[in-house]
Amino acid sequence: MIPNRHDAIAWDPDAGALCRISRETEAPQGHDLLVEVAAVSLNPVDLKVRGFTPADAPPRVLGFDAVGKVLACGPEAQGFAPGDRVWYAGAAHRAGANAQLHHVDARITAHAPASLSDADAAALPLTALTAWEGLFERLGYAPLSAEAQQPLLMINGAGGVGSMVLQLARASSIAVTATASRAESQAWCRDLGAGEVLAHGALADMPDAAFPRIFCAHDTSDYMAAMGRLIAPQGRICAIVGARGPLDLLPLFQKSASFSWEYMFTRPLFGTDDIARQGAILAEVARLADAGAIRTTRTRTLAGLTCETFAEAHEIVASGSMIGKLVVTF
């Protein structure tokens, strides 16, 4: 039975705080599914969206990664039925998943991996999509290749995205050098497949043109100069963190090296012709999880659809000290 109303946790920019709101439950339209959410995970983008919300805007429900049960399907939604257990990363321009019920486009959704609990599965969709698109669509690696591929420098290997890059790289025969500063972060990177782990500051000691591919999951502005020096001729750089100002790409010119952005929300935001590609990627990631080729990156769990729970979760993510992902279960 679908309730007439449901609760959500929203960011109130006027009050500068999280609040609990009640919303009318609407039937799914078009390609949408109506999902009863069981678990979500926190990402740095949650804090960025919170910061970008105008002070005079109404409260906004945050949250992207989610696992839950389909309650109803829109008339154009295909591949799903009520009762299906699904996972997804959502869309940046729509209401978020920190709610009892959530609407999501079926085309960016997949059946959740049967081998993972709701909490373990919720940690993966956004970072898995970012890692997959960055590695295989921006940097040009062959997915799941059995033959050795060009080595990769992974900047910030212990974060959510880095943790998925390392696992997908291992499954695709890509040797990775990762950066991580703390001993526990370095051990995490090695456990997920990094062949070499360096402190962030050690990049200054690496020789010029040392890497044919670089994936940057940290501050792009801070690392641009180092990446311009370290990238090999005809190499490729992919970054996922927006810059604070113009980037100096001139060092890439004589190397004929390329720079690309990876923004996981591009396909749903612009309704691209290949929007369903994200659902297909998540289906492949679910298959890899069920085959034991990748594992959850959940390292911390909180419980409860409450303002207090999400305030604590936001503080933890904002600290910048997380290894892996934080999940909230309802």
The reported pTM is: 0.97
Out of 261, 280, 303, a domain closes at 261
Is the same domain home to 168 and 239?
A: yes
Neighbours of 14 (CB within 10 A): 13
Out of 261, 278, 293, a domain closes at 261
The pLDDT of residue 294 is above 90: yes
Is the same domain home to 157 and 191?
A: yes
Is the same domain home to 100 and 193?
A: no
The pLDDT of residue 1 is above 80: no
The mean predicted confidence, pLDDT, of the chain is 97
Whole-angstrom distance, CA of residue 120 vs CA of residue 101: 20
Is the same domain home to 133 and 115?
A: no
Q: What is the CATH number of the domain that holds 103?
A: 3.90.180.10
User: Tens digits of per-residue pLDDT, 194-253?
Assistant: 999 999 999 999 999 999 999 999 999 999 999 999 999 999 999 999 999 999 999 999
Residue 51: the pLDDT is: 85
Straight-line distance from the first to the last Cα atom of the chain, in angstroms, rounded to the nearest whole number: 18
Is the same domain home to 139 and 253?
A: yes
φ, ψ for residue 279, nearest 5 deg: -65, -40
Is the same domain home to 137 and 252?
A: yes
Q: What is the CATH number of the domain that holds 216?
A: 3.40.50.720
User: Tens digits of per-residue pLDDT, 22-34?
Assistant: 999 999 999 999 9
Q: Which of 46-60, 68-82, 174-188 has the lowest mean pLDDT?
A: 46-60
Residue 328: the pLDDT is: 98
Whole-angstrom distance, CA of residue 161 vs CA of residue 220: 14
Is the same domain home to 107 and 141?
A: no
Is the same domain home to 132 and 193?
A: yes
The pLDDT of residue 277 is above 80: yes
Is the same domain home to 132 and 120?
A: no
Out of 204, 232, 261, a domain closes at 261
The pLDDT of residue 320 is above 90: no
Instruction: Tell me the pLDDT band of 55, cut-offs 50, 70 and 90.
Output: confident
The pLDDT of residue 165 is above 90: yes
The pLDDT of residue 71 is above 90: yes
The pLDDT of residue 322 is above 90: no
Is the same domain home to 241 and 280?
A: no
- The answer for residues whose C-beta is within 8 angstroms of residue 221's C-beta and 6 or more apart is 243, 244, 245, 247
User: Which of 45, 23, 118 minimizes the C-alpha distance to 314?
Assistant: 45
User: Tens digits of per-residue pLDDT, 83-136?
Assistant: 999 999 999 999 999 999 999 999 999 999 999 999 999 999 999 999 999 999
> Under the phi-then-psi rule, with left for phi > 0, alpha for psi from -120 to 50, and beta for the rest, what region is 320?
left
Residue 103: the pLDDT is: 98
Is the same domain home to 171 and 244?
A: yes
In the chain, the number of structural domains is 2
Is the same domain home to 142 and 257?
A: yes
Tell me the residue range of the domain where 241 lies.
128-261
φ, ψ for residue 226, nearest 5 deg: -65, -40
Residue 52: the pLDDT is: 85
* CA distances to 40, 91, 94, 108 from 268, in Å: 19, 6, 10, 8
Taking a C-beta distance cutoff of 8 angstroms, is the pair 157, 165 a contact?
Answer: yes
